[in-house]
A and B are shown apart, each in its own frame.
Chain A
Amino acid sequence: MDFQLSQDQRALRAGIRGLLAGRFDRDRMRAAHERGGGVDRALWRELGAAGFFALRLPEAAGGVGLGLPESVLLFEEVGRALLPGPLAATQLAAGAVKGVAEGEAVVALAEAGRPVGHLEGADALLVLDGDRTRLVSGGALRRLVDEARPVRSLDPGTPLWRVPDLSAYEGEVLPDGARLRCEGALLAAAEQLGSATRSLEAAVQHAGEREQFGAPIGVFQAVKHLCAGMLVRAEPARSAVYAAAVTGDPVEAAAAKLLADEAAVDNARDCLQVHGGMGFTWEADVHLRLKRAWLRSGQWLTSADAEEVLAADLG
């Protein structure tokens, strides 16, 4: 047993981190959020060229041939960088929708009873509706977009639309819907983990720099213990996310999503608190992470559903 990252996995993580640092630095991240989020098609194509979307397609089919653990490492970095877009749904649809592997197509995610993100301009829609998982595209998708109404989105990085009744639009039913949902939850959990880690780093940096009472505020236990608590949330979540990626087990994925959602939301809140008044401003980045973390908490598998999955497995 060696649960640590392999050399190749470390290299993969460094590669995507480097790509995002060069192509989606803080200025670009802020600019993307100021213009209302949405998908940057040029960046999407660059990710496609780097193999992001074809990561798990077999090499024989033109893919990279890597597995869920590698995918999770990529999504952790995406979460760190706060890159907007339906990346998980798109990567999962790589074998099923033309152009996805190359970064030419965007597949948005729609779940019954919730607003749909990134609907405008999407090439296909991955619909989770009851136990059915299907891909809606073409004429049905155009009709759906026509009938959708924009929502004033809480998350500046994710434009949202309300669709009256998802069940009214037919599409191609996917045979492995349960697996897609499990993996989608896990990729979202990986993004949450990256976000939770970034919030911790931002809080620690601020606590080391900001001075009050003649000392960096990180000297004070009240602040120190908030930061320690953030690490204590993030590390068990990390182990849960990585383990679920290795086993592919749906109950472990539920544990991962539950703990990563909590880590992302609560770490963003504590990060905001450590930043004091600045944390409440638009200028600070932490509200963007908190809002995205709230959004992702409601996607793929909610806390309540994850807890029921875990409970059903007990006894």
Chain B
Amino acid sequence: MDLAYTEEEEAFRARLREWLGSVLPGLPGKPDPGDWPGRRAYDAGWQRLLYDAGYAGLHWPADAGGRGATPTQHLIFLEETERAGAPYVGANFVGLLHAGPTIAAEGTAGQRARWLPPVLRGEEMWCQGFSEPDAGSDLASLRTRAVRDGDDYVVSGQKIWTSHAEVADWCELLVRTDAQAPKHRGISWLAMRMDAPGVTVRPLRTLAGSTEFVEMFLDEVRVPVSHRVGAENDGWRVTMVTLSFERGTAFVGEVVACRRTLDALAAEARRNGRWDDAVLRRRLGRLSAEFRALWRLTQWNVSEAQASGGVPGIGGSVFKLRYSHVRQELYEAAAEVLGAGDALDLDREWVLDRLSSLSYTIAAGTSQIQRNIVAERILGLPKGR
């Protein structure tokens, strides 16, 4: 058990800090959340800076254009960029964290060469077409059909909860290629151009009032067979590779941010007098224990991944269950700090965050599905319904 970073790791951190200190002051102002072209340009610009400095695809393998960094270096990268207030991954999220790693792991050499460099350079953005109106937690029951016609698939169906679809060039799409096979064995993974004829996108408004995701209608969209990653009908396994990345180190930056928010809440409570309320004070103390533990659990998981050759374990489900719950608690405490009046004012800090946090126990696998995963795959309880 050693929490000290090696000399090499500390040198990596020092170089990164120096670089962040030199580039962050020169960044343009953040675009308005509703300004999608502005958001794309901003996120692309940041990714290009990372690429030019050698930080893009840090932990990707070298044959995918990455730097082959260790999980610990990746952890340091995420920690330091968040600490320094660097831009979030934003519209590059799916490309860098879902589609890219899937192509890196399962794509042919030609597919890697075609799709990965533009992701790393911030030139092409991806979105994710997995969920459907009738295939949410039961993702494998998806019904969007792809029928072979010469060198193309002809794809028809409906997708939902697609983030960043407004700015994406590509969509990682799950389709049914064999309607007769058992549901997990008739799915294929396709890369679809978002400007292909037959793709219609309709924004969905969230309870926070913003349009962070869309529903997507596919009407006889032609996707070249060469844009399939993995074998036909092997898409479920290919997808699981993606989801295991989603549950790996994805929350490092968020935990750092939550700890900073908690400090800010304590400072505000001291300022406005609510700190004298022992119940609230102790509630903030308990949250501090939670986020400290989540940070240490992150280091534990990263060490485990490093020992196993870089593969994130299914321990990510344990992390996500606790984290998503505690982050909701954080904004409940924020409402207490603000007081009953200010907690109703959308222009006050943390009020919109409180609304956004309601998605954490739903997105990327609901807490109920995560508990099934933990119980069946980690604890070994019998599979059921």
Contact = CB atoms under 8 A, between A and B. Distances in A.
Interface residues of B, number: 55
B293 A255 contact: yes
Contacts of A236: 290, 293-294, 296-297, 318, 322
A245 B374 contact: no
A306 interface: yes
B304 interface: yes
B289 A255 contact: yes
B1 A6 contact: yes
* Interface SS of B by simple majority: helix
A247 B371 contact: no
A237 B293 contact: yes
A224 B372 contact: yes
A216 interface: yes
Contacts of A245: 1
Interface string B1-12: 111111001000
B289 A254 contact: yes
Contact of B1 (A3, A215, A231): A3
B325 to A, nearest CB: 9
A207 B381 contact: yes
A306 B292 CA distance: 13
A69 B3 CA distance: 12
Of the four ranges (under 10, 10 to 19, 20 to 34, 35 or more), the interface on chain A belongs to 35 or more
B321 A232 contact: yes
Contact of A225 (B3, B296, B307, B375): B375
Given A311-B281, A311-B285, A231 B374 contact: yes
A243 B296 contact: yes
B169 to A, nearest CB: 37
Contact of A231 (B294, B296, B306, B378): B378
Contact of B266 (A223, A304, A311): A311
Contact of A235 (B4, B72, B315, B380): B315
Contact of A218 (B1, B292, B299, B381): B381
Contacts of A204: 379-381
B303 interface: yes
A218 B321 CA distance: 20
A207 B375 CA distance: 11
Interface in A262-309: 304, 306-309
B34 interface: no
A4 B307 contact: yes
A224 B304 CA distance: 25
Interface in A219-240: 219-221, 223-225, 227-229, 231-232, 235-240
A225 B368 contact: yes
A1 B5 contact: yes
Given A204-B379, A311-B266, A315-B267, A215 B286 contact: no
A246 B1 CA distance: 7
A314 B286 contact: no
Given A218-B375, A255-B292, A2 B2 contact: yes
Contacts of B288: 255, 310-311, 313-314
Given A218-B375, A307-B286, A1 B4 contact: yes
A259 interface: yes
Nearest to A237: B293
A155 interface: no
B167 interface: no
B292 A240 contact: yes
B263 A314 contact: yes
B134 interface: no
B376 interface: yes
A225 B375 CA distance: 7
Central interface residue in A9, A245, A306, by most chain B CB within 10 Å: A306
B313 to A, nearest CB: 11
Nearest to B76: A1
Given A4-B300, A236-B293, A304 B1 contact: no
B284 interface: yes
Interface in B5-51: 5-6, 9
Central interface residue in B1, B303, B306, by most chain A CB within 10 Å: B1
Nearest to A201: B379
Nearest to B289: A255
B116 to A, nearest CB: 28
A75 B263 CA distance: 33
Contacts of B202: none
B318 to A, nearest CB: 5
A247 B296 CA distance: 11
A215 B382 contact: yes
B83 interface: no
B299 A239 contact: yes
Given A4-B300, A219-B384, A315 B1 contact: no
A208 B379 CA distance: 10
Contacts of B281: 307-308, 311
Given A246-B1, A308-B285, A310-B288, 18 more contacts: A2-B307, A3-B300, A4-B307, A219-B384, A224-B375, A224-B384, A228-B379, A231-B374, A232-B321, A235-B315, A235-B322, A240-B296, A259-B293, A307-B283, A311-B284, A314-B285, A315-B263, A315-B270
Interface of A: 1-6, 9, 69, 200, 204, 207-208, 215-216, 218-221, 223-225, 227-229, 231-232, 235-240, 242-243, 245-247, 251-252, 254-255, 258-259, 304, 306-315
27 contacts: A1-B6, A4-B303, A4-B304, A216-B381, A218-B384, A219-B383, A221-B384, A227-B375, A228-B321, A228-B370, A228-B371, A228-B374, A228-B375, A229-B371, A231-B374, A232-B318, A232-B322, A232-B374, A235-B315, A240-B292, A243-B296, A246-B3, A306-B285, A307-B285, A308-B282, A313-B288, A315-B263
Considering the complex of A and B, which 9 residue pairs feature the smallest CB-CB distances, nearest first? A311-B285, A315-B266, A307-B285, A219-B384, A314-B266, A255-B289, A310-B285, A239-B296, A307-B282
